[in-house]
């Protein structure tokens, strides 16, 4: 590390802000896992205070002066220069938001989340609509404060996937509209695989115990994390030494807990693999939400829904649930895990139809931000889109417009990263297979050590040093190429359904 005193002072400021933000994250985790309902009002104030204090540190004139000086310093290492570059970009963006706005947004996020919880419990969108209307107004204001070219949604996208634009995503999703329906419809015309055994009674504790073993097999460090229940599965990190996951359980739908655990475990492995010595600095955080999602989708789908993984894990699962899995082979389980069928719930959707779920949310939130759709009309628009793309209509709000937590958090611009992440995941996994001969055989023996090591070396250790496209090119030899995903999907579903595309 350099002896540059300005750089050391820069580190001190960023780590103080990180301490405040991670303290907020602990309170948010508690809010979604353990907090009693009557704690909501004061929790909102606590989070707002911490958010405002962190914002003041990250937009203060002193930090701006330090960044200007350090931008021309000649005694910094390559990684230190990268930290300064990313922090300068962040400073410019953060400085556009007044502290009062940040505090207001934080307060509204808490109010909105609690309204969402109440609305879901009562299955009534009208309870959530007033809070969401305020949130949408604030996000439109935020886009205006940031400034943007061509579309206000671009300003919000940049928070999650720097460099992404409406123009780029429209092109990506146009490809989905053209290619995925052909695959989807051919599978629909094929005799369906049997997944009825997933919906037998699976005791909650036995599901939980197996999920913990799966996390261990993935390489998740329980000395640096834990799993809990929440209304909507999520991962949160307070440092690489404390990364927590949550899941939800249905005793009559085994897939619900299993896939959310593996998905969130993939996110958590990324966070646990970030450089500890870069705590609070850009190189100590993830490259983007698209890259983050690539890690969860790689583990959930390429590994967790792959035949190799179940070759190793299925005997143990069958011992735990002998009655439920009578006469069900590992191949039967693999096929059932990859059943393609129109469904209402995004987090439980198959890999083909999943991207229609993301497309619907992308089109709706883009319309909300540009003002061509208002919150009062959102539930109806949601149902129309589901009928258009998946041929089904939600019977109620809980399985429809209220199913995701993201809008209650103000996370507009987040949903497209799910599709980008799936595309990156397929491309990264193809590269890992090429770089690691015998990897499939390792996984079939229950050993994912080499895969995790490859991800640590090629992706996790870099933090935000590279933009998504730079990182993808460095790792795979080319920028994001959706053809990897299409090839992966076709290869998998030819095995599942015995058809040729």
Which positions are catalytic? 264
- Can you spell out the DSSP letters for 485-498? HHHHHHHHHHHHH-
Place of tokens 């090119």: 473
Buried b (16+ CB within 10 A) or exposed e, 311-338: bbbbeebbeebeebbeebebebbbbbbb
Query: Residue 243 is inside which H or E element, if any?
Result: strand 242-247
CA nearest neighbour of 26 among 238, 234, 229, 173:
238
3 state DSSP class of 237: strand
For residue 302, the 8-state DSSP code is I
Contact 215, 264 (CB under 8 A): no
Buried b (16+ CB within 10 A) or exposed e, 101-139: bbbbbbbbbbbbbbbbbebbeeeebebbbebbbbbbebb
CA atoms within 13 A on the CB side of 244: 18
122 Cβ contact list (under 8 Å, min separation 6): none
Place of tokens 């209650």: 408
């Amino acid at each position: 590390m350099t002896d540059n005193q300005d750089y050391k002072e820069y580190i001190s400021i960023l780590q103080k802000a990180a301490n405040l933000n991670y303290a907020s994250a602990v309170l948010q985790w508690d809010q979604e896992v353990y907090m009693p309902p009557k704690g909501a009002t004061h929790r909102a104030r606590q989070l707002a205070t911490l958010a405002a204090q962190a914002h003041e540190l990250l937009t203060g004139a002193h930090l701006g002066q330090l960044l200007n000086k350090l931008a021309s310093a000649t005694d910094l290492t390559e990684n230190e220069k990268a930290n300064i570059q990313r922090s300068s970009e962040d400073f410019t963006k953060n400085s556009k938001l007044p502290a009062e706005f940040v505090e207001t947004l934080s307060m509204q996020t808490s109010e909105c989340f609690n309204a969402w919880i109440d609305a879901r419990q009562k299955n009534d969108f009208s309870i959530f609509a007033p809070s969401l209307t305020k949130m949408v107004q604030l996000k439109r204001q935020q886009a205006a404060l940031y400034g943007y070219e061509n579309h206000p949604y671009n300003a919000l996208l940049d928070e999650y996937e720097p460099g992404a634009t409406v123009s780029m995503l429209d092109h990506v999703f146009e490809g989905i509209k053209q290619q995925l329906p052909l695959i989807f419809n051919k599978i629909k015309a094929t005799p369906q695989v049997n997944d009825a055994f997933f919906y037998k009674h699976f005791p909650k504790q036995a599901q939980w115990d197996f999920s913990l073993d799966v996390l261990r097999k993935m390489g998740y460090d329980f000395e640096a994390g834990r799993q809990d229940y929440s209304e909507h599965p999520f991962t949160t990190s307070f440092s690489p030494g404390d990364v927590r996951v949550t899941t939800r359980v249905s005793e009559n739908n085994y897939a619900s807990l299993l896939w959310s655990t593996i998905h969130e475990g993939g996110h958590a492995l990324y966070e646990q693999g970030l450089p500890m010595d870069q705590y609070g600095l850009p190189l100590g955080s993830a490259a983007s939400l698209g890259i983050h999602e690539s890690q969860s989708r790689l583990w959930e789908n390429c590994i967790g829904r792959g035949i190799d993984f179940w070759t190793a894990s299925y005997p143990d699962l069958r011992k735990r649930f002998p009655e439920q899995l009578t006469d069900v082979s590992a191949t039967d389980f693999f096929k059932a895990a990859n059943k393609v069928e129109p469904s209402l719930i995004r987090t439980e959707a198959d890999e083909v139809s999943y991207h229609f779920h993301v497309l619907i949310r992308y089109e709706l939130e883009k319309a909300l931000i540009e003002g061509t759709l208002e919150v009062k009309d959102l539930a109806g628009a949601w149902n129309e889109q589901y009928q258009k793309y998946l041929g089904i209509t939600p019977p109620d709000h809980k399985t429809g417009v209220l199913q995701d937590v993201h809008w209650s958090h103000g996370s507009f611009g987040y949903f497209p990263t799910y599709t980008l992440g799936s595309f990156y995941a397929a491309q990264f996994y193809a590269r890992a297979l090429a770089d690691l001969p015998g990897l499939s055989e390792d996984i079939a023996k229950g050993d994912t050590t080499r895969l995790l090591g490859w991800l640590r070396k090629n992706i996790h250790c870099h933090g935000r040093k590279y933009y998504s496209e730079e990182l993808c090119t460095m790792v795979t030899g080319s920028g994001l190429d959706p053809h990897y995903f299409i090839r992966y999907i076709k290869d998998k579903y030819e095995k599942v359904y015995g058809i040729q595309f």
